[in-house]
Structure 1
């Protein structure tokens, strides 16, 4: 296999090959953090997928008017249509499907992973993410996530900033969490480095990262590893996957005002956050999820405003 890598084959020296998200998760996977199993379609694989489209994509991008949002939207739609309607090279498709079978999971998550550094140009929701993807829809999903690399916002940013970051695609076994959220290794408002700031809500973490609910908030002291304060919100909905309807949907919560995290789980999330900060020696923002009683790490990002030099 030459176009994909198992997550346990990936390390920090491979950012240019597998993207930042995958490289950091692969490094932490080796250390022993609980991270969903997966594989990465490398930048070489993506280049091969786009090989026959490169000339057309380049021609479209060369005529983008960055002062005209309608033109950016039009050019974006044209490029994304090219990708979505293209055929996957047989060799790569075979390799991807073999990797999928090796995961032994009915459902996977498909995410973009770009080659920017830890504190580079990325934020939650920048590119498309597909959840609960089956084998039958995997290739279509990969093309959809790849096409999001050419969203109007992404095109405008890369052209204006001369950002040459490439894209790889990460495929992981799907976690179906009872609670999920984010955590910062400093207070994001006061910027105090002595605290971990955690946001959480019931169900899939997209309700937090996409701002669909006001999440519960917990502040933990790093030195004492104890809960300093909490604010429990009224979380009117949670996102779930409906296996019959085969879609993610919001449902109303009867337990809207209940705490989404027990104190012991707050400390578990804080301990994970602190451990990752200690490894990389900089402030970080993570996405996490708890399925059953198991805490998973889903993503690590740097906090750029605190470390502008990275």
Structure 2
């Protein structure tokens, strides 16, 4: 395989090749953590995908005015349109389609992953993520995610900081969760290290990570592995994928469901145990994204708590 790696082929030394997100998930996948199966288009693959456009991209960016939002957005749109209209290398497209078939899933998530060892606000949410991508939409989704490397804020950040970190693309079996959210191995506000702090809501986890609901909160003691406090919120909506309309929809919840617990006691403990185990692997405080499907807890992402460990 020239352009791609299976998730079980990658690990921590490969951040510059497969991206930070993929490298850490690959490491944990090989250790037996419940990470959805997947593969990665390497940073070389992403570079090859836009190789023939590089000179034109350089010419467009050479005259960009970062003080003029309209100019920045116009040039961003020009570059993204070029990428979306272009063709991937034939060999890459064939390889990607073969990898997709190997996953044995009708739907995948397509995510950008930065190849810089640095983590910070510069990359959080800058690039696109596509969910519930089918085989027929896979190539167009990949091009859309590559194009997001040239989103206005990402362009501005790279020019201002001279940080030319590349991009790889992580493609994984899509989890369709009943509940999802985040967990911290240290309290994100008080920084107490003796507890796991979980935020949870119904449906897709974007409702939590994008602040669309006030999530349920569970605090679990690391020493006793028990829930020491919880706050159940009224979660007005949930995000679901409508398979008939083929799109993600926001569904309003009735008062009973809105006020119901999005996690059972046992699942909160399972998420806490996973969070503690990952913290022990990396020997530092971590923040994860998780999802529950068919009573299984899946690990979707892991990152360091940036304020404490900006290098992770």
Q: TM-score range by the shorter chain?
A: over 0.9
Deviation, structure 1 residue 309:
5.4
| Equivalent position of 1:275 in the other structure | 277
Uncovered stretches (5+) of structure 1, i.e. residues with no partner = none
Q: Distance in 2 between matches of 1:107 and 1:118?
A: 30
Residue in 2 that maps onto 1:105: 105
Segments of structure 2 that go 5 or more residues without pairing to the other structure are: none
Are 1:41 and 1:169, in contact at CA under 8 Å, matched by a contact in 2?
yes
Could you list the per-position Cα deviations for residues 219-275 of structure 1 after superposition, in whole angstroms to 9, with x for gaps in the alignment? 111122111211111111111111110111011213000010011111111111111
Post-superposition CA distance 1:141-192 (Å, at most 9, x none): 0011111111111111111122121100011011000000011111111111
Structure 1 distance, partners of 2:88, 2:123, is 28
Indicate whether 1:256 and 2:271 are aligned: no
Relative to the length of structure 1, the TM-score reads: 0.97
The count of residues paired between Structure 1 and Structure 2 equals 310
Asked whether the 8 Å contact 2:110–2:171 carries over to 1, the reply is yes
TM-score of the pair, normalised by structure 2: 0.96
Asked if the contact 2:291/2:300 (under 8 Å) is kept, the reply is yes
| Partner Cα separation in structure 2 for residue 269 and residue 22 of structure 1 | 20
| Alignment match, 2:236 | 236
Post-superposition Cα deviations, 1:70-110, rounded to whole Å, max 9, x if no partner, equal: 22111111111111111111111011001111111111100
Q: Which residue of 2 aligns with 1:152?
A: 152
1:118, 1:301 within 8 Å by CA — same for their partners in 2? Answer: no
- Equivalent positions of 1:5-154 (< 5 A) are 5-117=5-117, 119-120=119-120, 124-154=124-154
**Greater mean alpha carbon deviation, residues 56-65 or residues 167-176:** 56-65
Give 3-state SS (helix, strand or coil) of 2:46's partner: helix
Q: Is the 8 A contact 1:119 1:303 kept in 2?
A: no
Map Cα deviations across residues 106-157 of structure 1 (whole Å, 9 max, x no partner): 1110000111226445665332110110000000000111111111111111
